[in-house]
Amino acid sequence: MQAFTAARAADTPDALWVCEHPPVFTQGLAGKPEHILLPGDIPVLATNRGGQATYHGPGQVVAYPLIDLQRAGYYVKEYVHRIEEAVLRTLAHFGVTGHRVRGAPGIYVRLEDPFGHARLEPTPPGEEPRFIGLGKIAALGIKVSRHCTYHGVALNVAMDLEPFGRINPCGYPGLQTVDLSTIGLPITWNEAASVLSTKLATHLAP
């Protein structure tokens, strides 16, 4: 991604890389070592994305949009919103209601009723994000260089979730992480990847 971005010219086409990683913990630029509690046999890699610690592994769809924001005509804040919207629409495609939490990028679901449509009470401005009753189902971490994006978003489909217990996910102690399988949606990686790719391509278009 870094090499692709460094070599881009004004006419380089945008791209979307979708993949599945072997088990790995990654730290963002501001990542604090104390958020990696017990890595064990899973490697820890430093990255230059934003955010704190997260885990990637089999059964998770990882999507890396490589977008020229200047050419696309929108700024970083809207870019993040568009990625989150693509995840929300992907979940909705499968009947799941996702939620944003103010101050905590990513997408969350209600643990007791992931298919219900009730809205979350918004976190008041200035207060810490509220995660009571929520599980994180998609994590977001991006980097922008010369108006061009890399890194991206990870959607949990059918994973071994145990490694998330070895970290404070995204820097939040006790934050529960879930996947589509554990909330009652047994779809394949390919199904989830196909829908997420389509939604990202639609919502990240200029």
Q: Respond yes or no: is residue 19 known to be catalytic.
A: no
The position carrying tokens 């449509």 is: 117
Single out the catalytic residue among 153, 170, 192, 195: 170
8-state DSSP, 201: H
Q: What is the secondary structure of 60-110 as a DSSP string?
A: EEEEEEE-BHHHHT--HHHHHHHHHHHHHHHHHHTT---EEETTEEEEEEE
Sheet of 54-56, strand order: 44-46, 24-27, 54-56
Instruction: Tell me the C-alpha distance between 23 and 108, whole Å.
Output: 22
Residue of 129, 121, 111, 130 lying closest to 183 (CA atoms): 111
**Across-strand partners of 110?**
134
Q: State the catalytic residues.
A: 170
